[in-house]
Structure 1
């Protein structure tokens, strides 16, 4: 048979299949759903089924839910099991029976059986799944989807199909666990072409039948049909219309972050309400609410308080919060437990409400109020409508302030009410008032007007401005002048800005959780809590122990001469340095680790690099002995030495002065930080036998053999190690060998090495030690630098058990939609970067194409690693951390006895830890053991391939990074918070703030360091020589530009800050182009009332205001000398003065400070 006939037969068969699909008749339709508990959402779903007379089967009622926490992570496999069991039970009735399977808690059906079947038949399919904008739960599968118009990705919250085919599909899930992901299972079935064709599966790409609301709220609107006269009652339909696809979907799913919008739509759909009829489904009597003067609480707070029922406006904060007893004098029956709100949607916790109806401290006031109403049979929906004009009170109003009426809450109370308090609010407080009820189960109880929320958002922006400054002269002080004026440095802070403020907000969230006695923790989270508790208890114990824990630890690592009685001749550099570094992970001189080999990033390798001191090398080299900072440092060393048993102050001071001088000698051979930026020059791979020849002051083979003994890993002379800056180790070896030549110099060496162990641990000791550190810190940075004990403990716990703490933070504070929306924004910024890259004229084509490949290969990590939401995986991560309890004995004059105290222990190191259990100073021991644990984590990597999905930061951290050996950018949940990012803010602000941060990290892949790594994360020269020369010429422009910026007597180091400055500039360019493209495509132009700025101007204001900060002069000096980042003022000015788009937005004349003639540009 020839080929043409085969093709003809194929198309005939294909057409027959089409005919079968088209003409297959439907016997009947059954709606099937899973609901293990009856909730308000289920009742709403069930009501919609009854309204349209749909047959239904509800599976799993009163059964335990084993499908995981699907609101926070993947799961839902139990739904597949229950569906499979149901289809098995009706197996003899499958013939042409149509099954509509939907979620129940967040779904509304808005059509009858005939309408649903008719729409289904238009697909010519056996099974139709709903679709959505986001690829969940495995984003990597997005590339496997067939190309199509409309929404591309399968959603398993709604699908319809013949029972026969559905039964075959779910039977493929025999091995699926209840807590596996149902959507992932169906997705993989759909993506297999053989299954897609065999079962006749299609997606509803254009919302013909199914409407998923997540990410599509702006696409839909309510429409009403004309009123129809029925025999017994009036009936009118309310439809949901998709403006983009011009369809009327019938199954409405509030998936993901769209639960609240679904609640709003639920007030109209399924014949709930119609403008010409009103409430169609109920005649319930209206309920009279007892007088409750909420505004009383508002005024009593003497500040903007998180008033209940500010609909979708959770931006109100205050440092002044009413405590419980302040407002129990009025409305005794309505108690409101007040809590800090972090811009989160309220979460109701039943276990926070006691038997008397009183709420716990963590409960949101609005949720508590709703709970009380529900106990009284009242369901409440809150809305804000209308606003009113404002009459100024001329003798008090300050017209220099934007929204000056915001300040008049006390001086102009009556007009303030008119402006911001909804008129129906005060009516609802009257004793004889009846609450209006616009539709079924909905009570209209508005509190504030929309203008309140709008002004509040605008207020925070405008309040930070100083409009007396010309933005074209100094945009930093224009954008931040108001903020700087209103934010003096807090006590004990050397620097303060949005990063610090957000860090403190995140710490407060964690504190509240750690101290919540009713909170249930996973095993890993419990370990973090115990570590935190031990830190919080430290002062009770450590003050009584004084210097003893450190003295015993010094004895354990070999002693020193400061405390006297030291035998220097018996001291061995090899054994003691090995003990400090490779058993206890403490001490200085140099550092080593196990990490990715920069020239073969798939493998881990030993690496070795120079160490550092508490002060930068410039302080040692450029300061005389009489300099204030050097004197303060020597005073600090002397006080600590005396406290540790150093005898008289003069002899201790003399010994410590020699330690200081030895540190100065080491500083002279340290490679300056700006010279460490060229990884090609600093990278040197060699064998340990070669290192022994380069730096013979210790036997490196024996040194590392001891380090890897706990895991029984053999180390020999052929072991590879990457040595960064070999010249440092060669010079260090010479210096140390000189000091080993006689006992006096050897004593100085010993004291210096032990001091490098003691100095970082001073904060773990009693108050006299900490006071000595504070005095020195005050001189060094202009502030004591100390924080509340609980903040210190949150920070320390996060550094040790970061992902366990991250799990707590993400569950408590991170909004799920932020992760999805952030991924979209990153893609938009990456696309903008690539578009700009493709138009560069200074790059040769070969290098440009490779650069494009590298940009395409950059992966991103958003919020947190998924494993932290899986309790089993998280517990496994910290299985090697055990918590042991030791019975406390009568020691050190303690009065209490027989109390259990907690000590952390780690595997493979029990012999060491036996020596470390020194009775009761638990936190001191925990901190030592934590360092041992971190060392153990390092050494276990040695023979394993690199894990390129491993996070280098914990989720609560307010930061972001680019990892060159992974070619990866990461944005922890800690920074995806206001003011950097908020899904409810105008896009201009999000792109200007978080968008630039994203572009900044992306650009690091192509800065002076990142450009040396290829798309696979390997260090080698992949640029053409001519392009490198042009790149360096452009880099020189940035170096010269930033080196001109001066703060006090110090100039910014343009070479040291080069990479960060290039990233700032490239990040701004990419984020702005991504924003303008989005703005053009979306057509949105949201202008906040009272803000007379264009969208482009808001973008640049959003960028600048995240860098608002105040600093002590000393802190700025340290930043200029040590930090690769330019101080905030010039990060803003330097970046924006290179941006033509900024100058256009603010009409800055050419030659003005912010629009110089010469501009630097690379990316």
Structure 2
């Protein structure tokens, strides 16, 4: 993935131990630079403008950069693995090879899937048609939940934020087909257009099951009516970022009183979970669900359940269903022009359902021990830089610093892949029925999740699969996780220069560490408990600093729509993560041999290379439609502002490129946001 890079002879030039065995290290992508743009004017364009101009967004993608290209190359690697495994059909039952190979073979058998049409749905639709009373309606809701159709709430395991060593039951708002509540209630044209297109999509899926056009349109109106009522009772995306807003510990009696028309005793018996502590994330939503249960006709509820099943399973059915689903969610909402190749989509699905089975072969081939060790060393170095940063803060008092350092010292680090692989051997997967395989995968995931309820936390479990090109921080576990899939070029490479590794994956590592201290993470202590560990004065200072970030990002607008602004409150946590991640990764880089040297690569100093690496890693080109989706519901800013925002606040960047005061990439001391 990394091309046109200079040779760095650091071992010879500096005599540094550790570089002796890999004298030739790969640096930044100098050919990606748009040298017509000055780095102090627009670093997003300067750092990778030439690459984006030469590499337009593929028709099947909603955004594109070297990072996203690497993610798709990862899926090509999975396809290679799966093609090889699927070509050997006589594998022992229940083994990773049998499960992944047969699942992939069934998924790629387009003729069998298309020949089946809507037939796989018939037993499920017939069961819904047979509902005669509220008791049977509730039973069907339970049965649909078992195959991953969350109607209209989600029941699963959650960590108790007050006793973080314990897993409890959680009841969460769900059951909406549009991206979030605002799509149902806001009058702006983009929301109204989405509602209109959603009605067309609903009707289309109903007609594909043999329903007449008139009845399908009437059914669409029924679905929209129920979902709108539920949406109006739901929290918006900004409110959902407040952990206190979704913290409502209760027991079965309290839940039953909240929703008296739903039989929770029967529900618990059906899902084979003993009643205990429950968190109800949105009580207002659950009260509205109960009101709908009492007032909405049985016929309308059956229509709603049919729709939720159809929408949930559309991608596992014949091509007309797949095309309709894609046409709304990807083409209409995100602006994507065409479906990804079938093999790629099947690799994604195999990873989704059987990720740790597939991941075992992936890490054997693409994540050697040397890569894991270097990544772990980087995490250690960046954690150390965060320690130094907290210790050196002039605005935080010693009592709060002590708590912050205790939390930092307690961070659990996971790199590459789990120490203990998940056992999927209980799933029945065949080569002959992709729909049944998907249902089996859903059943396993739901049942596996429910087995955790009322038990101690299993800290060995992962929330992402090893091939995933992403990373995360979990505040209740106080852990940072970096799957092998993201520890690949251009983010990270065993043979990459420190500037590239620290400027790309290093900032990501710093970003995830910093999530423990953003506006959300800072509300959890070292054990993962939702508890304030700040003095009042320090917390007030912190909120002033985060308010600066909100105001800055509120001023950004998306491409081609100057009236649509980034929501600073929505992206606050991710933006704090970028600001702090950039700083601590840079401080860690300065302690490396290359960071302490003056050796130029392609005419750029080590510091300049570090910042270019970040601009090249994070510089996505994003479709306008996708930007609108992101502004509404994604806590991450549009990629351009993940480059321009943090760097314009960071004095070492201005120093590295000799940016003058008043330049677009240099904020004044009074306008600069510094949180950590």
Per the normalisation by structure 2, the TM-score is 0.92
Superposition RMSD in Å: 2.6
Which deviates more from structure 2 when the two are superposed, residues 545-554 or residues 768-777? 768-777
| 2:92 is equivalent to residue 546 of structure 1 | no
> 1:1052 pairs with 560, 566, 590, which one?
566
Q: Distance in 2 between matches of 1:847 and 1:999?
A: 21
Q: Distance in 2 between matches of 1:677 and 1:840?
A: 26
> 2:399 pairs with 828, 834, 846, which one?
846
- CA shift for structure 1 position 496: 2.0
Aligned to 1:525: 97
| 2:22 is equivalent to residue 472 of structure 1 | no
Q: Deviations over 1:566-613 (max 9, x none)?
A: 7655773322212211x3232332112113212111111101111143
| 2:278 is equivalent to residue 721 of structure 1 | yes
The SS at the match of 1:587 is coil
Q: Distance in 1 between matches of 2:367 and 2:131?
A: 56
Q: Deviations over 1:725-759 (max 9, x none)?
A: 322212332233221xxxxx332232123212210
> 2:166 pairs with 603, 616, 639, which one?
603
Number of residue pairs matched? 656
> 1:959 pairs with 446, 470, 482, which one?
470
CA pair 1102-664 structure 1, distance change in 2 beyond 3 A: same
Which of structures 1 and 2 has the larger relative contact order (alpha carbons within 8 angstroms, sep 6+)?
Answer: 2
Aligned to 2:5: none
The SS at the match of 1:945 is coil
Q: Deviations over 1:217-253 (max 9, x none)?
A: 98899xxxxxxxxxxxxxxxxxxxxx889xxxxxxxx
Aligned to 1:79: none
| 2:59 is equivalent to residue 507 of structure 1 | no
The SS at the match of 1:706 is helix
CA pair 567-1099 structure 1, distance change in 2 beyond 3 A: closer
Aligned to 2:651: 1140
Aligned to 1:446: none
Unpaired runs of 5+ residues, structure 2, are 1-8
Q: Distance in 2 between matches of 1:749 and 1:1096?
A: 61
Q: Is the 8 A contact 2:428 2:437 kept in 1?
A: no
> 1:1033 pairs with 537, 544, 551, which one?
544
Aligned to 2:426: 880
- CA shift for structure 1 position 684: 1.1
The SS at the match of 1:1156 is coil
Q: Distance in 2 between matches of 1:866 and 1:1086?
A: 39
> 1:704 pairs with 251, 268, 276, which one?
268
- CA shift for structure 1 position 521: 7.6
Unpaired runs of 5+ residues, structure 1, are 1-216, 222-242, 246-256, 262-311, 314-452, 560-565, 740-744, 869-873, 884-901, 904-919
- CA shift for structure 1 position 498: 3.1
Aligned to 2:582: 1068
Q: Distance in 1 between matches of 2:648 and 2:492?
A: 24
| 2:535 is equivalent to residue 1021 of structure 1 | no
- CA shift for structure 1 position 652: 1.6
CA pair 1060-636 structure 1, distance change in 2 beyond 3 A: same
- CA shift for structure 1 position 627: 4.0
More helix by share: 2
Q: Is the 8 A contact 1:781 1:1112 kept in 2?
A: yes
Q: Is the 8 A contact 1:688 1:721 kept in 2?
A: yes
Q: Is the 8 A contact 2:382 2:584 kept in 1?
A: yes
The SS at the match of 2:158 is strand
| 2:211 is equivalent to residue 654 of structure 1 | no
CA pair 697-623 structure 1, distance change in 2 beyond 3 A: farther
- CA shift for structure 1 position 992: 0.4
The SS at the match of 2:253 is helix
Q: Distance in 2 between matches of 1:571 and 1:600?
A: 35
| 2:556 is equivalent to residue 992 of structure 1 | no
Aligned to 2:298: 746
| 2:424 is equivalent to residue 932 of structure 1 | no
- CA shift for structure 1 position 721: 0.2
Aligned to 1:671: 235
Q: Is the 8 A contact 1:588 1:757 kept in 2?
A: no
- CA shift for structure 1 position 784: 4.2
Q: Deviations over 1:546-580 (max 9, x none)?
A: 11111222223x23xxxxxx765577332221221
Aligned to 2:641: 1130
> 1:766 pairs with 294, 315, 318, which one?
318
Q: Deviations over 1:61-110 (max 9, x none)?
A: xxxxxxxxxxxxxxxxxxxxxxxxxxxxxxxxxxxxxxxxxxxxxxxxxx
Q: Is the 8 A contact 1:1057 1:1126 kept in 2?
A: yes
Q: Is the 8 A contact 1:988 1:1099 kept in 2?
A: yes
Aligned to 1:139: none
Aligned to 1:857: 410
Q: Distance in 2 between matches of 1:966 and 1:629?
A: 37
Q: Is the 8 A contact 1:999 1:1068 kept in 2?
A: yes
Q: Distance in 2 between matches of 1:244 and 1:1078?
A: 10
| 2:353 is equivalent to residue 804 of structure 1 | no
Q: Distance in 2 between matches of 1:665 and 1:699?
A: 21
- CA shift for structure 1 position 957: 0.2
Q: Distance in 1 between matches of 2:338 and 2:542?
A: 41
Q: Distance in 2 between matches of 1:533 and 1:1069?
A: 47
Q: Distance in 1 between matches of 2:655 and 2:10?
A: 31
| 2:383 is equivalent to residue 830 of structure 1 | yes
Q: Distance in 2 between matches of 1:754 and 1:784?
A: 28
Aligned to 2:255: 691
Q: Distance in 1 between matches of 2:567 and 2:582?
A: 21
| 2:672 is equivalent to residue 1159 of structure 1 | yes
| 2:123 is equivalent to residue 555 of structure 1 | no
- CA shift for structure 1 position 790: 0.8
Note the 1:83-232 alignment, pairs <5 A: none
Aligned to 2:6: none
Q: Distance in 2 between matches of 1:567 and 1:1094?
A: 71
> 2:198 pairs with 613, 622, 633, which one?
633
Q: Distance in 1 between matches of 2:119 and 2:156?
A: 31
Q: Deviations over 1:769-805 (max 9, x none)?
A: 2222233232222124521111111111111111111
Q: Is the 8 A contact 1:634 1:653 kept in 2?
A: yes
> 1:813 pairs with 342, 366, 372, which one?
366
CA pair 567-955 structure 1, distance change in 2 beyond 3 A: closer
Q: Distance in 2 between matches of 1:544 and 1:752?
A: 27
Q: Distance in 2 between matches of 1:665 and 1:1130?
A: 35
CA pair 1013-521 structure 1, distance change in 2 beyond 3 A: farther
Q: Is the 8 A contact 2:229 2:288 kept in 1?
A: no
Q: Is the 8 A contact 2:427 2:441 kept in 1?
A: no
Q: Deviations over 1:527-551 (max 9, x none)?
A: 11111111111x2212112111112
Q: Is the 8 A contact 2:548 2:673 kept in 1?
A: yes
> 1:579 pairs with 122, 143, 167, which one?
143
- CA shift for structure 1 position 661: 2.5
- CA shift for structure 1 position 658: 2.4
Q: Distance in 2 between matches of 1:493 and 1:773?
A: 16
Aligned to 1:535: 107
Q: Is the 8 A contact 1:967 1:1015 kept in 2?
A: yes
- CA shift for structure 1 position 722: 0.9
- CA shift for structure 1 position 1097: 0.5
- CA shift for structure 1 position 1009: 1.0
Q: Is the 8 A contact 1:594 1:605 kept in 2?
A: yes
Q: Distance in 2 between matches of 1:1024 and 1:521?
A: 60
Q: Deviations over 1:153-200 (max 9, x none)?
A: xxxxxxxxxxxxxxxxxxxxxxxxxxxxxxxxxxxxxxxxxxxxxxxx
Aligned to 1:730: 287
